[in-house]
Every structure is written in structure tokens, then in C-alpha cells.
Structure 1
Amino acid sequence: MTHDGGTHLSFFGATDTVTGSRYLVEHGDKRVLVDCGLFQGYKKLRERNRAPLPVPPESIDAVVLTHAHLDHSGYIPALVKRGFRGPVYSTPGTADLCTLLLPDSGHLQEEEAETARMRGSSRHSDPQPLYTARDAVDSLAYFHPHEFREPLRLGPGLEVRFIPAGHILGASQVHITAGTGAAKSSVHFTGDLGREDDPLMKPPAPLEPTDVLVTESTYGDRAHPRNDPTEALGDVVRRVAKRNGVVVIAAFAVGRAETLMLHLARLRRRDRIPDIPIYLNSPMAVDATELYQKYPEEHRLNEREFREMYALPQMVRDADDSRLLNLRGGPMVIISASGMLTGGRVLHHVEAYGEDPKNAIVLSGYQAGGTRGASLLDGATSLRIYGRDVPIRAEVVSLDNLSAHADGDEIMRWMGTCPRAPKMVYVTHGEVGASDTLRRRIQHELGWRARVPEHLETVDLAHPR
């Protein structure tokens, strides 16, 4: 991939999907990959994880991460395995969370490959993980934490700044300035943008002037419900407890688990839910919760709320204790990962409790197309789990108002704070309908140029089209 001078941006992921965030910025002889995420969901998308990058990994000078979620960070071990040897820059919170998320991702991939091998459920005779837990641990040596707002120089005329994005611990917007004088241009990446009134995280910092904006559009075609998420969650718990059922909450281990614990602690304090056992069954979520105490400046919680959150659930680390939960029965609440039912301990709980109509499966965030969570939302009456079809008769509840993503209205208000219009807005990181809806709103309500880029497209930042 060669260019005649200038600064170029290539879209290697998140252009026709809500996963696989990867953007290549090229300036002079420097190549910087902004985000290095896994494709998730539909098999057609997941297969992109196995395909070679359009540029050799060893030719990339640095990776800059917006945040730790796997659709933004989960390809890093594979990139290192395939030859990348440069630094990975992120905020300290993101680096800390990646020490939990990446090895866990490698472990899950090893587990899935082994299960497929034993059950003969792969078209490959010897299925292999994309990377192992050991590969992931090795990749952590390349991380170089960098503070919010402090300029980071990546080469002559190439500077990066991390700007708070809300969303989860360590999450940032990334602002890149390239060139000098009249040839200077800037590109701003939203990463995943947090919400104005998130109960856990502070709101995203206002949008700074930029020549080109690359925005996420996860919820670009909808507005979050305005009802109180605490009460919506309380309704589910009270209803299921009354019938001695089990509430299985599928939660992203980083961010969502903490939010759920906060809401449940508030409900318990007000006697709005019965005194039934609550379990946090995710070693990674347990560790992530502890990290939130390390960075109090990034979130809204006070010391009392932290104490209540910790005192509320029984923390489950051991795999045997996790299995015992499947024999216990209700009433109880289990918070477990993964949030889109793509893997992890929550699948065992869905397998154990999904067939009984007195139980409930709660989806607490965005469900990407092609995931089991999306199938449940679409009304699926069975799920394929570990090679067998599990009937689903449990109540299925979606709590969209627990999302840590800004919705379409919030994104538009955030953009409206910018002092001047960018030359172009590229709408990415959303399903096709969500991205196109947000594109139209940007054009009609703000009068800005906006479009949805093509997968693998390259644009000139000085003359964006």
C-alpha cells in the first residue's frame, strides 16, 4: 500500500459491522494502527480474523488503542504472533484491563478449539485457536501506557492525544495531528462513546475541532429507553424471585458487570428486591471491579457505593464453584460473561437454566448480528451450545437502557458541541442500518458532509471524499 505523500486513512474493519475496529493512519513513512479489534458475530465476519492484514504486521510502527473491549483490542496477540514488534499505546486503565481481557480471550479460543476437536464440530481435522493465552500474555510486553491529554509524538509531524470517552475504564477518544504548517491535518476517532448520564462513568469530553471525524454508530438508529434502569432491573428480579426462578444476566465482564452490581446494590439498599443470593461468576469481572478502585477520577462512584457493590454479590472464581451454581436452583441472580453469549461461563448457566420458563435470561447490552444474544432477541426458541441445541423456554429480557454506548441523540448532541464542522465525517462501527441512519442525521441536522466508508477503502485526509 503506497501513496504519494500526504496523510492517508484506511478502513480495515468496523465498516460494515459493529466489530473488528481497525484503522490505519499513514503519514510519511510511518504506519499507525488505531485499534486492533476482533471481528465477532457472523461467521463471514469472524473469518476475517484469519485473513492476512492488507499490510504486513511488521510494517506497522505502532498501535494506538481507544479502549480494552475485544472488538477494539482483541487482535493484538494475533498481530504480534504474525510479526508486529512496535509499541502498543493506550491509557493506563486500558492497559490494565487488557492484562485481564487478552489472556482470557486466548484461553477461551483454546477451549473452543479443543471442544470442536473433541466433538468433531469443525470442518478442520485439527482446529487451532487464533492465538493462545500464552500468546496473549507475550503481547502484553508491547504495551506502553500513556496519560490522558498528554501529547504523544510518534514521529516527525505525527502526534496523538488520548481524550476521555466515558464508556468504560480507560476508554478514550483518539486525536491524531499529522504534518506541519499549511500541510497539517487532523483526524479524530470517537472510539466507543459513553453516555451523558451513565451511572458509573463520567460523560465523554466535548468534541475538539478536527478535519476528519471517524465516529462509532452502534446505536446510531435508536434512542435508549428513558425509564430508570434500576427499576427495570428490579422488576425482573422481583418477578423471577416470586416464582423461585433464576435470573441469568449476560454481562460484559468489563464495565457492564460493575453497572449491574451498582444497580442491584441500590435496589437492595431500598428494599426493592428480595434478599436472595447474587453471584458474580466471572474471574475477570471480579478483577476488573477491583481496578475501578485504582482510577477514581474516571468514574462517579463514591466510597460508600464501592463498599456496597463489593458486599452485595458472592464472587465466584473457581470453576468447580461455577459448576455448582448450575445445581443450586432458584431463587438467585447470576451475573456472568460474555455479554453477547459468544462464550464463557454464562453459556453453562443458559444451558442449565434456559429450558425452564420460571427462569429469565437478561441481555444487558448490545447484541451484534450473528451472536447467540442477537438470536434470542429475534425470538429464537433454541440455542446451539457446545454442539447441542438447547431449548429456550426461559423469559428473555433485554435491558437496552443499561448500555454504556451513546445513542443516536446523544452522539448528535456531542457532535453539536464542536466549534466548527469537519471536512468529512466517516460513520463506522455499526450495523448497516445504524450507520446509514446516523449518516443522514449528521447531513440533515448539522449540515456536515458524512458517509459510510467501504471495507478496505483508503482516503486522503487532506482531501477526504
Structure 2
Amino acid sequence: MKISFHGAAGEVTGSCHLVECNGRRILIDCGMFQGGHDLHEDNAAEFGFEPRDIDLVLLTHAHLDHCGRLPLLVKRGFSGEIISTAATAELARLVMLDSAHLHEEDARRHHRHGERGGNYEPLYDTMDALDAVDIFGRKVGYHQRIKLFPGIAATYFDAGHILGSASILLELDEDGRKRRVLFSGDIGPCDRPLLNPPVPPGDADVVIMESTYGDRDHRSLDSSVSEFLAAIHRADEHGGRVIIPTFAMERAQELLWFLRQGMEDGRLRSSMRVYLDSPMAISATRIFSRHPEAMRAELAGMIRDGQDPFRLPKLHFVHEARDSMLLNRGDAPSIIMAGSGMCTGGRVRHHLRHNLGKAESSVIFVGYAAAGTLARIIIDGAREVKLFGEQIPVRARIHTINGFSAHAGAGDLKRWHARTGTPERTFLVHGETRALEALCRALGPERTEIPQMHQSYEL
């Protein structure tokens, strides 16, 4: 029995871990590397294993950095089964098809402008993504133990991170040696309005644990919501437009919920126009309504009673790019929620181009921004940024509200780990160096390790 780390090892993204037992090779996640610089070569590199040799993929959740290289895995020869929760399967389809479209667009742009020579190819295309969708097999419920192979079983537990997210407990038995190996996936905080808190699955011998915020806690959710609504109210009073770079899954739906609350209790004008300018976020919102089983009781009850918890009086879904461009005509106060959350692509960049230079406008960042991304550059106080070949001055009011993260803060991470018993070894992944080292010290470095890329360990 052994485990090897082929992504999110010593870095934040690209989650990909390989377990070998009884001659079987099981991959937990196969995510894309993300960040501020061009990572095409990193994502196109060899996996560190032969895709044809993988028997099975267990997917923790549908974020791109956990599922984004599944189409490439299939393209390079994997033909086994992908197992996930039902909600994750739906969201992963959405994410992979969107990613394939972006890769195809990127390749067309390079060919059009003659960049990188004439042989630049997309990492994968729409057909590769559909091939990956086709091999999603069993849909697993929480607390449902499934036998994968002789001597290998898996149980999914609610991770409270995004809809359908899971921690996965593998029970391994090889030649009479038994190990309980727990993969945290991404762990959510305990106070989210839409999802249930994460469920630690009990004692484990080995824990593979995310560390995104291993060095700090978030602000309280209540104070973050109050600041969020106050920032919008202030912009509305000044006649300005509010731009919110928004992650399509979870964050967009949470913000719609908070806006609904703000309008119902009078902190915001109910007549204020809100535009969800992200086809992916629109689709994700519809998927939410199909999975009340993965949500808190209040939300689930509303959905089962035929209510839409995400509707607002003046909410508009913007599907077409041409309609998105029209939003920047005129100066009527409004809220525009658009992807991507880190401003690395998507429609939000056009809205920033038109609104960053306006003192009456506001930009509200409500999520993690990796080093080097446009979001981080603006957050760090840049006076001007480059967008579409132009230098755009930053005159808009910039707000950074950190309490909305879908990741557990340091305190919640330590409490989650404390409920896994006394594992012999904990591997910390999915974090920047400072966060990894801080959590390692907190958990006890004598039993905690920070693996590096492609490093392998006996279990």
C-alpha cells in the first residue's frame, strides 16, 4: 500500500493523489493548476503516472482545481469509472465543458495572433470533456459505504465546502494489513447559510488534509455580510455601479441569498437591479434547486415548497455576451456579478475595464485571490492595471471582504482534525507555504508532513 502526490503538493491547486492497494490504482481528484501566470505547460505536463493504469477516480467535488484535468486524463487513456455525489457529477459536467470551451478559445486566439507558433493546441476540447462526463458512474450518497475492489471500500462524508462536496474515507486491507485513509477534500466553515457544516468521519490512520487557510481565521460571517451590504448601499447612494467578481459555484448563490436578505430587511433598495452575468453561475444556480438533499434544512424546505431562495425582485440572468456588453452603457446604479472570481478571465474583466476608472463605482472582492492574479493585484493596491492592452487607472472604491470563504479557517481546520482520532501521519496539501507550515506546527510536526510534487510514501 502506498500513496503518491501529483498535485496540490506544496502549492494550492491541482489536487491529485494516487493510492495503490492490492494491485489497484485509485486516483482521488484530478484537478487543474491555477494561478496568475500561464500554467498551460504545467497542466499539459505528464501526470506522474500512466493514465491507462488507473482503475478508478474518486472525486471530492467539482471545483476546477479538483476536476479540471479529468478530460485530459481520459484523453490520455483513462477508461475507468469516476465516482462522486450526484450534485458533484452535475456541477463537474458544467465545469469541464466550460473549461474545454476556454481552452478552445485560447487556442484560437493564439493561432489568430500567431503566438507560440502555429502548433498550439488546446489542453483538451469539448469532445474530451464529454468523454469524461460519459464515464461518471455510481452516484454516492453521504455515509454510504461502497465496495470498490476486494479489500478496498470508500465512504463519502459531507465536507460542507460546495454543493455535493465530500471528504472520502478509504478502508484498505492488503495481506491482513488494514488502514483507514482519509482525504479531507476541501473543508467548509461551520457557519455557511446554504450548506450543512462539515462532518468529520471519525478515526483514521492516515489523513490527507487541505491547508488553504491553515495560518489564519476568517472574519465572522455576520460582520462580513453587514460590510457587504453597507458597501453596496453606499455605492447606490452615490449613484455608482457595483462590480462583484464572483465564483460561479457556491459564492454566487450565497451572495444572491444575502442580497435577498438585505432587501427583505430594508438594508438595500428592493428596486436595485442585480445582474448575474455568468452563464456558468446561472446553470449552477439551477443545479442547486435540484439538490435540496445537499443543503441546510431551511433552504431545502423552501425548494421543496416550490420557492426559489435565490430570486430577487430585479434579478436578471445575462446569458449572451452581447447583452453583457450592453450593461456598461449608461450610469444607472446596479450590481453586476460576473466571473471569474480571481479576474483571470471571463466577463468581469470587461466590466472592470469600464468601471475601475470611475470614482463613483465600487469593486467588491469576496473570495480567495491567488498571488499574481488580477484580483490580487487590485487588492494589493495597484494604482493602474493592464486590461485588453490598455492601462486602466484604479479610481473605484475597492472592498475586500474575507469572511465569505468556502474554506474553513485555521480554527475550524484544527477542530476538524481533532475529530479524526490520533492519526499516525497527516499529510498537508492544498496550501501556500506559510499556511502549510503554520498548520504543520499546530498539528505537531512529528506526525505531520508536507509532501512535494510526485513524492511517494508507504502506507
With the shorter chain as reference, the TM-score category is over 0.9
Query: How do 1:48-197 and structure 2 match up within 5 A?
Result: 48-120=42-114, 122-144=115-137, 145-179=139-173, 182-197=176-191
1:41 maps to 35
| Larger CA deviation: 199-208 vs 301-310 | 301-310
From 260, 266, 270, the counterpart of 1:265:
260
Structure 1 partner of 2:24: 30
Q: Which amino acid aligns with 1:283?
A: P
C-alpha deviations, 1:124-163, integer Å up to 9, x for none? 4443221122321221001112222222222221111111
Q: Which runs of 5+ in 1 are unaligned?
A: 1-6
- Say which of 248, 253, 265 aligns to 2:248: 253
Q: Which amino acid aligns with 2:252?
A: A
The Cα shift of 1:187 comes to 1.1
Q: Distance in 2 between matches of 1:98 and 1:367?
A: 22
Percentage identity across aligned positions? 37
- Three-state SS of the structure 2 residue aligned to 1:393 is coil
The residue number in structure 1 matching 2:417 is: 415
Residue 261 and residue 459 in structure 1: after superposition, are their counterparts in 2 closer, same or farther (change >3 A)?
same
Q: Give the Cα–Cα distance (whole angstroms) in 2 for the partners of residues 308 and 54 of structure 1.
A: 44
Please state whether the residue corresponding to 1:362 is helix, strand or coil.
strand
- Report what 2:9 is aligned to: 15
Cα pair distance change 1:110/1:383, threshold 3 Å: farther
Alignment of 1:65-464 (within 5 A): 65-120=59-114, 122-144=115-137, 145-179=139-173, 182-226=176-220, 227-274=222-269, 275-300=271-296, 301=299, 303-304=301-302, 307-312=308-313, 313-418=315-420, 420-443=421-444, 449-461=447-459
| Cα shift at 1:241 | 1.3
Q: State the 1:387 CA deviation.
A: 4.2
Q: 1:29-62 CA deviation, whole Å, 9 max, x = no partner? A: 2111100000000437553201011111111111
Kept after mapping to 2: 8 A contact 1:230/1:264? no
Task: Work out the CA distance in 1 between the residues paired with 2:261 and 2:352.
Answer: 26
CA contact (8 A) 1:108 1:343 kept: no
Aligned amino acid, residue 280 of structure 2: M
Q: C-alpha distance in 2, partners of 1:162/1:409?
A: 23
Deviation at 1:180, TM superposition (A): 5.1
Whole-Å separation in 2 of the counterparts to 1:225 and 1:143? 38
Distance change in 2, residues 1:389/1:141 (3 Å): farther
Q: Deviations over 1:223-265 (max 9, x none)?
A: 1012522211111101111221111111110110000000000
User: What code does the residue aligned with 1:454 have?
Assistant: Q
Q: Which amino acid aligns with 1:428?
A: V
Q: Secondary structure of the equivalent of 2:236?
A: helix
How far off its partner does 1:456 sit?
1.0
**Distance (Å, rounded) in 2 between the aligned partners of 1:96 and 1:384:** 36
Instruction: Give, in whole Å, the separation in 2 of the partners of 1:15 and 1:46.
Output: 18
Given the two structures, how large is their TM-score scaled by the length of structure 2? 0.93
Give CA deviations for 1:159-199 in whole Å, capped at 9, x if unaligned. Answer: 11111101111100011111157401121011010111111
Give the letter aligned to residue 449 of structure 1: R
Question: What do residues 287-335 of structure 1 show as CA deviations (whole Å, max 9, x unaligned)?
Answer: 1112212221221225558535223421111222111112243310011
Helix, strand or coil: the match of 2:286?
Answer: helix
Change (3 A) 1:330 1:141: same
Q: Return the alpha-carbon distance in structure 1 between the equivalents of residues 80 and 397 of structure 2.
A: 48
Amino acid of the structure 1 residue aligned with 2:211: S
Residue 215 of structure 1, CA deviation: 0.6
What amino acid maps onto 1:433 in structure 2? R
CA drift at 1:415: 1.7
Contact 2:293 2:300 in 1 (8 A): no
C-alpha spacing 1:271/1:143, structure 2 compared with 1 (3 Å): same
Count how many residue pairs are aligned between Structure 1 and Structure 2: 450
Mapped partners of 2:123, 2:330: distance in 1 = 35
Stretch of structure 1 that moved more, 51-60 or 385-394: 385-394
Shift of the 417–90 alpha-carbon distance from structure 1 to 2, 3 Å rule, reads same
Measure how far apart 1:417 and its partner are: 2.5
Q: Tell me the SS of whatever aligns to 2:457.
A: strand
Is residue 90–residue 146 contact of structure 1 (8 Å, CA) maintained in 2?
yes
Aligned amino acid, residue 288 of structure 1: A
Rounded Cα–Cα distance in structure 2 between residues aligned with 1:140 and 1:249: 31
- Which runs of 5 or more structure 2 residues have no equivalent in the other structure? none
**Structure 1 length as normaliser, TM-score?**
0.92
CA distance in 2, matches of 1:14, 1:404: 17
Contact 2:89 2:136 in 1 (8 A): yes
SS in 1 for 2:280: helix
SS of 2:308's partner is helix
RMSD across aligned positions (CA): 1.9
Q: Which runs of 4+ in 1 moved over 6 A?
A: none
